[in-house]
Structure formats: structure tokens, C-alpha cells
């Protein structure tokens, strides 16, 4: 599980931070994104041949997509302390918005 939160922002119980949960469902790795847009898209994983990239393809979504929904994600392992995430959010009218995160473990 991981929570998307801006660095340096205090915890605020009145604000929803998106949470992503990864889990095995049978023999598939599934991602469920609990979005601050009020829905829960699910995606299934595909791994690269070198095992360093996991791409998540949209399966379905629970809840309203009135404000859009997460539709695709790619996690790339750089090393034991560093990975990147590329997310695609689809806004109303099927407009894709891309976001890139370069994440490193705190020491």
C-alpha cells in the first residue's frame, strides 16, 4: 500500500490522499487505486522481460467517473532505493493527463 501525499504537508483528516493497494488475486498482480476523485479503478499487471517494469492495464472502475479516473500506471524499478511511477488519468471527455513521479527511499 502507498499513499500519494505532497512532501512536507501535514496530515489532514479532512483531506483524502489517494491510496494505492497492490495485491495478488489468484495468479495476477492487481492494483486498486482509491482515488480522491471518489472512485476505485482496478488494473492488472504485466511485467517486462527484465522484471524491472510493471505496467498496469485498466480492468474496471467502481464508483462515479464524473470527475475522471486513473486508467494506466507504469512502475519502473531503478534500484533498491529508487523507482519511478508514470500514471495516466482520464478526465471527462476522454482527455488523458500524464504524471511522472521519481521516488527515492528516505535515509
Tally Cβ neighbours within 10 Å of residue 37: 20
**Radius of gyration of the chain from its Cα atoms, rounded to whole angstroms:** 14
Reported as a single tens digit per residue, the pLDDT across 22-49 is 999 999 999 999 998 899 999 999 999 9
Note the pLDDT of residue 24. Answer: 97
Which parts of the chain have pLDDT scores under 50? Answer: none
Note the pLDDT of residue 7. Answer: 65
CA angle 59/77/21 to nearest 5° reads 40
Q: Where is 33: in which H helix or E strand? A: strand 28-34
Note the pLDDT of residue 8. Answer: 67
Q: Name the nearest CA neighbour of 29 among 88, 73, 85, 83.
A: 73
Note the pLDDT of residue 5. Answer: 66
Note the pLDDT of residue 9. Answer: 66
Amino acid at each position: 500500500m502507498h499513499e500519494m501525499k505532497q512532501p512536507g504537508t501535514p496530515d489532514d483528516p479532512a483531506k483524502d490522499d489517494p491510496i494505492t493497494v497492490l495485491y495478488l488475486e489468484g495468479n495476477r498482480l492487481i492494483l486498486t487505486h482509491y482515488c480522491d476523485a471518489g472512485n476505485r479503478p482496478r488494473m492488472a499487471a504485466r511485467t517486462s522481460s527484465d522484471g524491472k517494469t510493471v505496467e498496469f492495464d485498466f480492468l474496471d472502475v467502481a464508483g462515479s467517473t464524473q470527475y475522471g479516473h486513473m486508467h494506466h500506471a507504469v512502475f519502473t524499478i531503478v534500484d533498491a532505493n529508487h523507482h519511478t511511477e508514470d500514471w495516466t488519468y482520464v478526465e471527462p471527455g476522454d482527455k488523458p493527463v500524464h504524471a511522472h513521479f521519481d521516488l527515492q527511499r528516505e535515509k
